[in-house]
Amino acid sequence: MRRLLLALTAPLMVLAGAPAAHAASTLVVPIDHSAAVSLPRGTRDVLIGNPAIADVSVLDSGKAVILGKSYGSTNLIVVDQLGRTVLERQVVVSAPAGRVSVIRGSRVDDYACAGGCERTGEAPKAP
């Protein structure tokens, strides 16, 4: 009976594990920074889910660059010549190391802190 139960559940365990093997990997890009992405052969279109969070620029048939524009997450989709999705990745735009935001009421001042803190060139903004 134990062998029969194992024989019946083994295919289910394989199927349950299958999506994890093809799960989209996460690309973390600091805000105001870029990250290069290799494109599969035969790429036709490169799309970004929310262009307010990240932007994508295709350099050539084998490489694209993702720019982190605003904090949050979105997705990157690559479509081949037949219209099939050949790559999908989650893109998370995060704070870069050494960056500090000081919030005073409605005013937000950003500082770059590497050795010492200096105010960034951005104009103050409301949260």
* Residue-wise pLDDT tens digits, 50-87: 999 999 999 998 999 999 998 899 999 999 999 999 99
Residues 117 and 69 in one domain: no
**Which domain does 78 fall in, by range?**
23-96
Residues 6+ apart with CB under 8 A from 120: 99, 110, 111, 112
CB contact at 8 A, 86 and 40: yes
Q: Are residues 37 and 80 in the same domain?
A: yes
Does residue 44 sit in the same domain as residue 32?
A: yes
The answer to whether residue 40 is domain-embedded is yes
Structure tokens at 99: 């960056």
**Residue 7 domain-assigned (yes or no):** no
User: In the prediction, which pLDDT does 18 show?
Assistant: 36
Residues 69 and 114 in one domain: no
Per-residue model confidence (pLDDT) at position 59: 94
**Overall domain count for the chain:** 2
Query: Which CATH number does the domain housing residue 56 bear?
Result: 2.60.40.1080
* Average pLDDT of the chain to the nearest whole number: 78
Same domain, 61 and 36: yes
CB 27 within 8 A of CB 35: yes
24: left (phi over 0), alpha (psi -120 to 50) or beta: beta
Do both 27 and 80 map to the same domain? yes
Q: Is residue 13 part of a domain?
A: no
User: Could you tell me if 28 and 90 lie in one domain?
Assistant: yes
